[in-house]
């Protein structure tokens, strides 16, 4: 038993001999919990997850003997937890609207019974290895929770419970370890959040994560098991884009970590998710979703812990063989929490007050993403999407620039686009994806071999229009040739008819890969057909007046992903729309010219 | 220990006093100092160890004689007595009455720091609040429980806009009687404070307003208490007495500067522009006290006003605020110089909660798409205006000239309105269609074809 020596904000100096770095401590009359971050002789410095007001020097302190850990077992999905995995719903019922200090509530419900079905291949006397599947619990309609042997346990299975109802604390099996000790197995186990969960080996990421957002899937793809960042100044639509990804992506589990963000945003997710349907399974989205919430007004140290809690939960579902997406909103707030503690420790600041280890901590965190072969021999993945909130929208600041070196997909949000209400405001010039060639294989196999070329053509068009726009800004559009004006118009068609996507529009909110590809090729076709005419001498002005262009801009919100036949019919009619002009400008040989311009 | 006076002040500097030899003082505890003249000052313990206790003194440490200073530790956090009688009263920056009337008597005293709201207990803001200002209602709608700051600059009419919102804000339909205002000013000039007081008086809402005033010549450290005291009052009115509370706080820049001043004294490591690394968390503690709670009738809607130093929206104060609040109303110098009032620069303005509080069942079905179309058309029009400035208006095409005319009309008729003009949301939307009708229907792709047929005046 030790005692408090000094209180300075969230940091408390303790007289606590024999404590270990990272150990959890409980201090004071209120029993506030924290972790040891440094030791010097008999004194230790601890950061507390709760506000320290009211603590007095001289009050008691004790080490708990374990590092910050999470409970992993059935009862996680559909829940909302704080930065140290306390269940917020249960705390609300127990202690009211405000988060009182010193409240201890078990992460997983203790009284709920789950229907456990043992793995049919397991018999008493068989060897058992860490990470193997003991049996299953149907946690939600769409997700089967696989009960895993804790990774560090290895031995001989002595006993396994038959099919039946169990609480998470019931003993469902016993194992004799190599040293002869008997280990009891439960429906859940604990894992320290700062230690990555083990796996057999890393796999290549092969399949793209389909988010239903055209600018992401078609232009800057992310793979399942990949790492992405969404940087953007405030008001650029970062949160909206992350919500869209969390809603529509084809992962089996989505973990949304609200790290130092707005309370109302989490409420929005909590209220809207149960009413939305997963387009891939037809089940309510909440069944596959789990929220970790440490809003900006909650204590700063728990904010630092929250992303580790989130990633450990993600790894746990990965180890069950699932594809997991974790969205961390925002890693900048996490970095600021790191900075705040470093500042109080008096550590030498490097850039913008951040400690020197910012880059290495960020890199180590993102490395916990990946597609792996699990200890049980399955394949699972953790895809990590981190939002970055650069101060003043300046991408050269430390968190953004470090992150940019670590991730492979960069979805840069632009204030200019957002101001013009071009959503999602993903800047097509600043963004990049290192996964295009891997994604191209998937698109070629599953959708169309022409994907990679079409994507490149559209990007070329956008880049060309950027050049032309600069000229227009100097001397006006009249100075451009017809060909150039048509290029400009076609690029604007792609921006408005393809890149812009209304999250609030029921039809437009999600686009299947088929719809994305259909729209992409349709708009490119319009460009190509028009360009032929321009080359025959038709002035761009005539083409720009064609009603087809206004119509094509509406296609995205007129046809849902299930209604592609009608869209394809409209696409097939594109050449017909150009026919009158064609007759005018190539009257001599309309039929042969027609042949020529058909693809 | 509450009754013991310690005379062990070891050092004092710029608002901080170090007390030696006072064991076992609770962090965050309130402190009373009596100086040699018998004047009582109050403070808070910000760091506590057995050998030294660091105290922040709100009234400052001027003319403090260490040998003749007596300090009592009250062993409780800073608290504000709350009661229904606060309505119509004026308090100073630390929550003591300064209107010459007797103190508020109440057994119910609340810790001004509050406790964080459990995110699971929050209810999502959905009800549209009509402010009667087209630029806000039409394009950046405010909802009940939202925090929507006004980003302004020195010399811009943010106070007039805030006062107009306070006068005109109402919910469509009912409950007008349950609406009260908590007004907090920190670092405000006497003229500004008087302006608000008179404006509330004239419109007859004064008995529904609680004012907390820390004026520009009053202690700087006290500014750290003022918003907390005001929000404690607001929380009591909203969640205990079921009022819908509108909190107006001005000027957040003065607050952040006070925070920086204290941080420097404490020796905190500075992050950006000398502001401490915890500026974000500190601002969030204030802003996040807005909102609605499930199963409670009241709500707190917050309009913080802040002046952007040198009109720079990337300055840490507006920047961090923008990351916490649910949007921002940006006032612009250019519009203001052209005589447009309120000079709302719509493109960088935003209301994040708008999408859920407008449209069918809330305002009018076409509202979301009309707003989106206005943004898109105006953004386009500004591009054309930039072009016209370079190549001259004569060189523009007919279509571009129509666009230019739209931009002018939009600024003169839609954004511009008089200070006592209270437009209903229907008037605002009809006006929007009048303006959009200046543009050819095929260029309006954000609105639906049915809406074009119904509202566009040029449509056949």
CA distance linking residue B282 with residue A296, whole number of Å: 9
Q: Which of A54, A88, A264 sits opposite B28 (nearest CB)?
A: A54
Partners of B439 on chain A (C-beta within 8 Å) are none
CA distance linking residue B300 with residue B302, whole number of Å: 6
CATH code for residues B80-357: 3.40.50.12240
Distance from CA of A559 to the nearest CA of B (A): 14
Distance from CA of B56 to the nearest CA of A (A): 13
Q: From first to last of its 460 residues, what are the pLDDT tens digits of chain B?
A: 778 899 999 999 888 999 998 888 999 899 999 999 999 998 999 899 988 999 999 888 888 899 999 999 998 999 999 999 999 999 999 899 999 999 999 999 999 999 999 999 999 998 899 999 999 999 999 999 999 999 999 899 999 999 999 888 888 766 555 889 999 999 989 999 999 999 988 888 888 999 999 999 988 888 999 999 999 999 999 999 999 999 999 999 999 999 999 888 888 888 888 898 889 999 999 999 999 999 999 999 999 999 999 999 999 999 999 999 999 999 999 999 999 999 999 999 999 999 888 998 889 999 999 999 999 999 999 988 988 888 787 878 888 899 999 999 999 999 999 999 999 999 999 999 999 999 999 889 889 889 999 999 875 4
B43 lies within 8 A of chain A by CB: no
β-strands A289-294, A80-81 pairing: parallel
Which chain B residue has the Cα nearest residue A340? B277
Distance from CA of B444 to the nearest CA of A (A): 9
Q: Do A353 and B269 touch (CB under 8 A)?
A: yes
| pLDDT given for residue A588 in this prediction | 59
Q: State CA B105 to chain mean position distance.
A: 28
Which chain B residue has the Cα nearest residue A271? B124
Q: Do B442 and A340 touch (CB under 8 A)?
A: no
Distance from CA of B90 to the nearest CA of A (A): 28
Q: Do A296 and B280 touch (CB under 8 A)?
A: yes
Q: Do B271 and A339 touch (CB under 8 A)?
A: yes
CA distance linking residue A61 with residue A44, whole number of Å: 11
- CATH 2.40.10.170 residue ranges of chain B are 9-77
- Band of the pLDDT at A598, cuts 50, 70, 90? very low
Beta bridge partners of A370: A382
| pLDDT given for residue A522 in this prediction | 96
Q: Which tokens go with A572?
A: 């097939």
Q: Do B356 and A6 touch (CB under 8 A)?
A: no
Q: Which of residues 22-61 of A touch B (CB under 8 A)?
A: 51-58
In A152-223, alpha helices (H): 214
B176 lies within 8 A of chain A by CB: no
Partners of B269 on chain A (C-beta within 8 Å) are 342-343, 346, 349, 353
Q: Which tokens go with A75?
A: 């009862």
- Residues B367, B370, B371: CA angle, nearest 5 degrees: 85
Q: Using CA of residue A131, residue A137, residue A139, residue A140, what is the dihedral sign?
A: positive
Task: Kindly write down the DSSP assignment for every residue of B303-357, as one continuous string.
Answer: EEEEEPGGG-TTSHHHHHHHHHSSEEEEB-HHHHHTT-SS-B-TTT-EETTHHHH
Q: Which of A267, A344, A420 sits opposite B123 (nearest CB)?
A: A267
| pLDDT given for residue A560 in this prediction | 92
Distance from CA of A294 to the nearest CA of B (A): 9
Beta bridge partners of B142: B129
β-strands A43-48, B109-111 pairing: unpaired
Which chain A residue has the Cα nearest residue B385? A473
Residue A525 has pLDDT above 70, yes or no: yes
Reported ipTM: 0.88
CA distance linking residue B49 with residue A316, whole number of Å: 42
Q: Which of A97, A389, A496 sits opposite B445 (nearest CB)?
A: A496
Residue A51 has pLDDT above 80, yes or no: yes
N- to C-terminal Cα distance for chain A? Answer: 81
- CATH 3.40.50.12240 residue ranges of chain B are 80-357
Element (H, E) at A563: none
Residue A73 has pLDDT above 70, yes or no: yes
Q: Do A99 and B350 touch (CB under 8 A)?
A: no
Q: Which of A298, A385, A334 is nearest to A86 (CA)?
A: A298
Q: Which of A56, A97, A297 sits opposite B26 (nearest CB)?
A: A56
Q: Do A391 and B276 touch (CB under 8 A)?
A: no
The 3-class secondary structure across A158-174, one letter per residue, is EEECCCEEECCCCCCEE
- Band of the pLDDT at A234, cuts 50, 70, 90? confident
| pLDDT given for residue B203 in this prediction | 83
Contact between residue B436 and residue B456 where contact means Cβ atoms under 8 Å apart: yes
B25, B117, B118, B321: best mutation site toward chain A, by most A Cβ within 10 Å?
B118
In A9-87, alpha helices (H): none
| pLDDT given for residue A379 in this prediction | 96
Q: Which of A442, A205, A443 is nearest to A325 (CA)?
A: A205
Which chain B residue has the Cα nearest residue A352? B271
A505 lies within 8 A of chain B by CB: no
Mean pLDDT calculated for residue range A482-489: 95
Which chain A residue has the Cα nearest residue B346? A419
Q: Which of residues 231-250 of B touch A (CB under 8 A)?
A: 239
Distance from CA of A56 to the nearest CA of B (A): 4
Size of the A and B interface in Cβ pairs below 8 Å: 217
Q: Which of B310, B312, B258 is nearest to B283 (CA)?
A: B258
Partners of A235 on chain B (C-beta within 8 Å) are 322, 327-328, 348, 350
CA dihedral of residues A426, A432, A438, A442 (deg, nearest 10):
20
In B110-251, alpha helices (H): 134-137, 158-168, 190-202, 226-239
Distance from CA of A205 to the nearest CA of B (A): 34
CA distance linking residue B259 with residue B266, whole number of Å: 11
CA distance linking residue A589 with residue A321, whole number of Å: 62
N- to C-terminal Cα distance for chain B? Answer: 84
- Band of the pLDDT at A593, cuts 50, 70, 90? very low
Q: Which of A54, A346, A421 sits opposite B372 (nearest CB)?
A: A421
Q: Do A300 and B145 touch (CB under 8 A)?
A: no
Mean pLDDT calculated for residue range A138-162: 94
Upper half-sphere CA count for residue B134 (Cβ side, 13 Å): 25
Mean pLDDT calculated for residue range A507-516: 95
Q: Which of residues 162-201 of A touch B (CB under 8 A)?
A: none
CA dihedral of residues B395, B397, B398, B402 (deg, nearest 10):
-90
Q: Which CATH class is domain B9-77?
A: mainly beta
Residue A507 has φ and ψ, to the nearest 5°, of: -75, -40
Q: Do A58 and B350 touch (CB under 8 A)?
A: no
| pLDDT given for residue A547 in this prediction | 92
Q: Do B118 and A97 touch (CB under 8 A)?
A: yes
CA distance linking residue A123 with residue A169, whole number of Å: 22
CA distance linking residue B147 with residue B53, whole number of Å: 37
Contacts of B78 (CB under 8 A, 6+ apart): B30, B42, B44, B94, B111, B112, B113, B225, B228
Q: Which of A52, A80, A394 sits opposite B27 (nearest CB)?
A: A52
Contact between residue A330 and residue A188 where contact means Cβ atoms under 8 Å apart: no
A89 lies within 8 A of chain B by CB: yes
| Domains, chain A | 2-67 (2.40.30.20), 115-190 (2.40.50.100), 201-435 (3.40.50.300), 451-597 (1.10.1140.10)
A88 lies within 8 A of chain B by CB: yes
């Amino acid at each position: 038993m030790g005692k408090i020596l000094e209180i300075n904000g969230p940091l408390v100096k303790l007289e606590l001999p024999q404590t270990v770095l990272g150990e959890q401590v409980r201090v004071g009359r209120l029993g506030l919990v924290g972790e040891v971050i440094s030791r010097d002789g008999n004194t230790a410095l601890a950061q507390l997850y709760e506000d320290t007001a009211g603590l007095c020097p001289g009050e008691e302190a004790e080490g708990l003997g374990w590092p910050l850990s999470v409970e992993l077992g059935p009862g996680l999905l559909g829940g909302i937890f704080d930065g140290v995995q306390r269940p917020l719903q249960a705390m609300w019922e127990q202690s009211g609207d405000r988060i009182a200090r010193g409240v201890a509530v078990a992460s997983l419900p203790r009284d709920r019974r789950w229907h456990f079905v043992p793995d049919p291949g397991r018999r008493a006397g068989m060897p058992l290895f860490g990470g193997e599947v003991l049996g299953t619990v149907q946690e939600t309609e769409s997700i089967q929770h696989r009960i895993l042997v804790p990774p560090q346990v290895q031995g001989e299975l002595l006993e396994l419970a038959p099919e039946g109802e169990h609480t998470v604390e019931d003993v469902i099996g016993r194992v004799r370890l190599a040293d002869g000790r008997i280990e009891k197995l439960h429906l859940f186990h604990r894992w320290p959040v700062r230690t990555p969960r083990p796996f057999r080996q890393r796999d290549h990421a092969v399949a793209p994560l389909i988010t239903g957002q055209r600018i992401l899937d078609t232009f800057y793809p992310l793979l399942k098991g990949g790492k992405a960042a969404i940087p953007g100044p405030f008001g650029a639509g970062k949160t909206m884009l992350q919500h869209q990804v969390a809603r529509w992506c084809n992962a089996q589990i989505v973990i949304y970590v609200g790290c130092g963000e707005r309370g109302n945003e989490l409420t929005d997710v909590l209220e809207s998710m149960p009413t939305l349907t997963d387009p891939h399974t037809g089940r309510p989205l909440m069944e596959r979703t789990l929220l970790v919430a440490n809003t900006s007004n909650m204590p700063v140290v728990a904010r630092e812990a929250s992303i580790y809690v989130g990633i450990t939960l993600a790894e746990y579902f990965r180890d069950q063989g699932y594809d997991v997406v974790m969205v961390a909103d925002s890693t900048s707030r996490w970095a600021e929490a790191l900075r705040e503690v470093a500042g109080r420790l008096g550590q030498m600041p490097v850039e913008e007050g951040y400690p020197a280890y910012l880059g290495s901590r960020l890199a180590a965190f993102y490395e916990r993403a990946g597609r792996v072969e699990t200890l049980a021999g399955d394949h699972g993945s953790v895809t990590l999407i981190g939002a970055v909130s650069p101060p003043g929208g300046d991408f050269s600041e430390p968190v953004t620039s470090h992150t940019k070196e670590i991730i492979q997909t960069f979805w840069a949000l632009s204030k200019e686009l957002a101001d013009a209400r071009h959503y999602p405001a993903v800047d097509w010039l600043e963004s990049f994806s290192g996964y295009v060639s891997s994604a191209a294989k998937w698109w070629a196999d599953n959708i169309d071999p022409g994907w990679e070329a079409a994507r490149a053509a559209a990007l070329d068009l956008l880049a060309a229009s950027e050049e032309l726009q600069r000229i227009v800004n100097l001397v006006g559009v009249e100075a451009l040739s017809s060909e150039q004006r048509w290029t400009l118009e076609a690029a604007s068609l792609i921006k408005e008819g393809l890149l812009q996507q209304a999250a609030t529009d029921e039809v437009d909110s999600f686009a299947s890969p088929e719809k994305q590809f259909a729209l992409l090729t349709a708009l490119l076709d319009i460009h190509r057909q028009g360009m032929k005419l321009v080359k025959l001498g038709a002035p761009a002005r005539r083409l720009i007046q064609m009603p087809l262009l206004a119509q094509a801009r509406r296609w995205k919100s007129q046809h849902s992903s299930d209604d592609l036949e009608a869209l394809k019919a409209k696409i097939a009619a594109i050449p017909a729309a150009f026919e009158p002009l064609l007759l005018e400008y190539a009257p001599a040989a309309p039929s042969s010219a027609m042949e020529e311009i058909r693809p | 220990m509450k009754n013991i006076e310690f005379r062990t002040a070891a050092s004092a500097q710029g608002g901080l006093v170090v007390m030696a030899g006072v064991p076992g003082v609770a962090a965050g505890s309130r402190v009373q100092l009596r100086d040699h003249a018998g004047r009582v000052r109050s403070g808070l313990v910000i760091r506590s160890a057995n050998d030294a206790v660091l105290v922040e003194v709100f009234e400052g440490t001027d003319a403090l004689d260490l040998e003749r200073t007596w300090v009592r530790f009250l062993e409780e956090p800073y608290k504000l007595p709350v009661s229904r009688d606060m309505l119509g009263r004026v308090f100073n920056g630390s929550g003591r009455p300064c209107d010459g009337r007797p103190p508020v008597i109440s057994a119910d005293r609340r810790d001004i720091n509050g406790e964080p709201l459990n995110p699971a207990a929050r209810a999502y803001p959905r009800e549209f609040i009509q402010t009667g200002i087209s630029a806000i209602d039409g394009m950046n709608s405010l909802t009940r429980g939202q925090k929507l700051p006004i980003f302004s600059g020195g010399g811009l009419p943010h106070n007039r806009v805030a006062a107009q919102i306070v006068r005109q804000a109402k919910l469509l339909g009912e409950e007008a009687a349950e609406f009260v205002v908590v007004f907090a000013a920190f670092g405000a000039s006497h003229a500004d404070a008087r302006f608000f007081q008179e404006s509330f008086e004239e419109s007859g809402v004064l008995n529904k307003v609680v004012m907390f005033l820390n004026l520009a010549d009053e202690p700087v450290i006290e500014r750290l208490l003022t918003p907390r005291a005001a929000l404690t009052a607001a929380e009591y009115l909203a969640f205990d007495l079921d009022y819908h509370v509108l909190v107006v706080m001005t000027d957040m820049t003065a607050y952040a500067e006070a925070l920086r001043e204290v941080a420097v004294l404490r020796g905190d490591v500075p992050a950006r522009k000398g502001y401490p690394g915890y500026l974000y968390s500190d601002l969030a503690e204030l802003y996040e006290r807005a909102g609605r709670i499930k199963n409670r009738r009241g709500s707190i809607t917050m309009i913080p006003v802040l002046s952007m130093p040198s009109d720079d929206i990337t300055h840490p104060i507006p920047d961090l605020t923008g990351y916490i609040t649910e949007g921002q109303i940006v006032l612009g110098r250019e519009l203001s110089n052209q005589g447009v009032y309120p000079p709302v620069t719509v493109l960088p303005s935003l209301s994040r909660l708008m999408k859920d509080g407008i449209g069918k069942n809330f305002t009018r079905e076409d509202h979301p798409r009309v707003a989106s179309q206005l943004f898109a058309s105006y953004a386009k029009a500004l591009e054309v205006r930039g072009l016209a400035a370079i190549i001259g208006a004569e060189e523009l095409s007919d279509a571009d000239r129509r666009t230019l005319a739209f931009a002018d009309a939009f600024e003169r008729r839609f954004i511009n309105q008089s200070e006592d003009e209270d437009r209903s949301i229907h008037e605002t939307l009809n006006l929007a269609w009048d303006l959009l009708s200046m543009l050819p229907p095929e260029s309006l792709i954000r609105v639906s074809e049915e809406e074009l047929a119904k509202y566009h005046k040029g449509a056949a």
